[in-house]
Amino acid sequence: MKGPLGQIMRQAQQAQEAMKRVQDELARTEITGEAGGGMANAIFGSGILLVIGSVVGVPIGIAGGIFLAEFGRGSRLANAVRFTADVLNGVPSIVMGIAVYSLIVLPQKHFSALSGGVALGIMMVPTITRTTEEMLLMVPNSIREAALGLGLPNWRSVLSITLRTASPGVITGCMLAFARVAGETAPLLFTAFGNHFWSANLNQPIAALPLQIFVYAISPYDEWHRLAWGGALVLIVLIVVSVALVRYVTSRGVLKGAN
């Protein structure tokens, strides 16, 4: 077909073929020094590590923020927790990796997905703690007083009323922490270590997208350098999509607190 319409159709076909090639490459594992290969196992491994990190970091971080804002105001313990959270926010991620290496990897005598997830979870805690505290402090005292006036115990008022009111800000803090740890490489070098094959065993080394990008980037193979750029793009897209999805669910009211 000739003319502008034919040119548009040819460009669309070329774009479709290019997307298919990208999908085929990402759906395979790596092939040393040869054309082809991909990082599907690394994407899968990153998902497992982030789930473990969220399971570890989100509850502890939210619990810490609740304690600082509602139960420990002005106490020495609250000041110590707040100071520790601020210090951990500035600690290099590689230090976190070395700490988890000493606490988990050395006693187990092997690397594992569990240790990698714990390292990411610890890194999420200070950000979530401080964000949760600030969001809870923004809730008007009149809401707390109204809940207590209805006869609710303080702990029930905090969990059912105050925390629910501040939930959009708390969720935002969780997403910030998630986005921060999703691209971390240094702590995983000492914990998850990486894996060239598919693995869902939490007690064994596991592949991760940041680790795979690092390995590809420092390799001498041009094909791997190209895959490293592609992997970096995939990592950014995955983070943006996950954060946007949570924000969309929040805006739809599924996780939205009271106004």
**What CATH number is attached to the domain comprising 245?**
1.10.3720.10
- Is 21 inside a domain boundary? no
Decide: 34 and 102 in contact? Cβ < 8 Å.
no
pLDDT for position 259: 44
pLDDT per position as a tens digit, 33-52: 455 557 888 999 999 999 99
Q: Is 92 buried (19+), middle (13-18) or exposed (0-12) by CB count in 10 A?
A: exposed
Q: Is 20 buried (19+), middle (13-18) or exposed (0-12) by CB count in 10 A?
A: exposed
Q: Work out the average pLDDT over 147-157.
A: 86
pLDDT for position 27: 52
pLDDT per position as a tens digit, 156-170: 889 888 998 898 889
pTM above 0.85, yes or no: no
- Is 197 inside a domain boundary? yes
- Is 6 inside a domain boundary? no
pLDDT for position 97: 93
pLDDT per position as a tens digit, 184-234: 999 999 999 988 888 889 999 999 999 999 988 998 888 888 888 988 999
| pLDDT band at residue 255 using 50, 70 and 90 as cut-offs | very low
Decide: 198 and 41 in contact? Cβ < 8 Å.
yes
* pLDDT value at 107 more than 80: yes
* pLDDT value at 8 more than 90: no
Which position has the token pair 């609250």?
Answer: 78
Q: Work out the average pLDDT over 78-84.
A: 93
Alpha helix ranges (H) inside 92-208? 93-100, 106-108, 113-137, 141-149, 154-157, 163-165, 167-182, 186-189
- Is 31 inside a domain boundary? no
- Is 184 inside a domain boundary? yes
- Is 200 inside a domain boundary? yes
- Is 84 inside a domain boundary? yes
- Is 27 inside a domain boundary? no
Helical axes 113-137 vs 76-90, angle rounded to 10°:
120
Q: What is the span of the domain harbouring residue 53?
A: 40-251
pLDDT per position as a tens digit, 116-134: 999 999 999 999 999 999 9
* Least confident span in 11-15, 102-106, 145-149, 227-231: 11-15
> If DSSP codes are grouped into helix, strand and coil, which group holds residue 198?
coil
Alpha helix ranges (H) inside the chain? 3-26, 40-66, 76-90, 93-100, 106-108, 113-137, 141-149, 154-157, 163-165, 167-182, 186-189, 209-217, 222-251
> If DSSP codes are grouped into helix, strand and coil, which group holds residue 156?
helix
Q: For the chain, how many structural domains are there in total?
A: 1
